[in-house]
Chains A and B, each alone.
Chain A
Amino acid sequence: MTVSKSQIPNPKSQITSSGDWDLGFAIRVLGLALLMSTSAFAHHGAASIYDMGKETTIKATVTEFVWTNPHVELGISTSGGTKTDLLLELGSPPNIRNRGWSSRTVKAGDVVTVTFHPGLRGAKIGVVMKLITADGKELQA
């Protein structure tokens, strides 16, 4: 699957290049995040499970989108399949609803571009910073 990857020294930066996604969860960590996501604060300290100094942007297929507490869950496939390769968390339902999300913002099968802090020690998880929907709408998580 073709994915986009870019170094994002500034949260406002846009994806600038594309290439092939390296499977086996060798996520290309490409930049430093300047700001910590607000989404993780309400529930737990994100720094103990995510690398808040790294930021990854990929284009991937949604495998699941679960509107739940404590955090909304987004599963994505990096190969265009239906199996979740990466499990990402967003904010709590009311928090991200205030930022324009709803339970129907994305659905399984959608191709989205998502930026997240990856899990520490290679864990196949992440905490989402922002997402661009299939129809080009950009949302903060």
Chain B
Amino acid sequence: MIRYLLMLSTAAVVFTAAACSKPAAAPAPPAHPNISGSWVRPLRDRDVGGIPPLNEIPLTEWAATKLKAERPAGGENQDFANTTDPSLRYADPNGYPRISLHPMRFKIVQTDDYVYQLWEYNQNWRQIALNVPQDPDPAITWYGNAVGKWEGDTLVVDSIGYKDSTWLDARGLPHTQDLHLVERIHKVGENLAFDITFEDPGAFTKPWTAHLIYKPSPDGSMTENIYTISDELRFRERFLNQKVNIPIRR
């Protein structure tokens, strides 16, 4: 009985203390901006920045020669039928940052440890690991090894380890496996800016920077838009009468 009374009184004290405690303090403001959501760089918008004109990019002799030999599918000297664009010829992943030049939207998902970019085109994605050191010898991948940290209102992303077969843009801008990108991602009003500095001694005589602006896009479910080598070759067979020498889905 005594034990029972003691338990009862203890419960009453706890209840009274809880009821009389001060209201909880307002939650602390977030340590950094929220950049999650859907973003798009509309094709025809003129205020969304871009990769600079080719004559403003400090190409090495190797890069200039390689660029000249490429046959892009679009633009001034386009040759779709005979293009050397790896994302069409082989249906390769676009790689980075070319995937972010695609006019389809992408979504950013933020967690405490990672920032994810989810591109609608081909359902490609990359992860930016937060507050960890860069791996000096990462695996070579389509989307590189990216680490980031917040500096005030800017997410600074360092990435290396890029497969050298990708083009940096649809014009055929080349790079080597030593490509090093430093991105500063920050809000500008309601938009999201990516200032990307390209370093690659094999391809560029000095670092250069591109400024890309993304606009908010209605959020919600992402659309599936997966494109395969069968899709590409089937299109070429039907529309260009090109011979296809491997089995494809028709």
* A-B interaction: yes
Known: A92-B225, A94-B225. A48 touches B81 (CB 8 A): yes
Residue contact A94 to B120, C-beta cutoff 8 Å: yes
Residue contact B74 to A49, C-beta cutoff 8 Å: no
Residue contact B239 to A87, C-beta cutoff 8 Å: yes
Known: A89-B239, A94-B104, A94-B120. A44 touches B231 (CB 8 A): no
Q: CB-CB contacts of B130-143 with A at 8 A, as 1s and 0s? A: 00000000000000
Interface residues of chain B: helix, strand, loop or mixed (majority):
loop
Q: Please give the distance in Å from B60's CB to the nearest CB on chain A.
A: 27
User: B226 at the A/B interface (Cβ < 8 Å)?
Assistant: yes
Interface residues on chain A, size class: 20 to 34
A45: which of B44, B78, B234, B240 is its contact (CB, 8 Å)? B78
B239: which of A38, A49, A69 is its contact (CB, 8 Å)? A49
A70: which of B79, B224, B231 is its contact (CB, 8 Å)? B231
Number of A-B contacts (CB under 8 A): 60
Known: A92-B225, A94-B225. A44 touches B238 (CB 8 A): no
A93: which of B72, B73, B225, B239 is its contact (CB, 8 Å)? B225
Residue contact A69 to B74, C-beta cutoff 8 Å: no
Interface residues of A (CB under 8 A from B): 38, 41-49, 68-71, 73, 87, 89, 92-94, 97, 125
28 A-B contacts (beta carbon < 8 Å): A38-B43, A41-B43, A41-B103, A43-B73, A43-B88, A44-B73, A44-B83, A45-B74, A46-B80, A48-B78, A48-B81, A49-B80, A68-B231, A68-B234, A69-B225, A69-B226, A70-B227, A71-B235, A73-B238, A87-B238, A89-B235, A89-B239, A92-B227, A94-B104, A94-B120, A94-B225, A97-B223, A125-B239
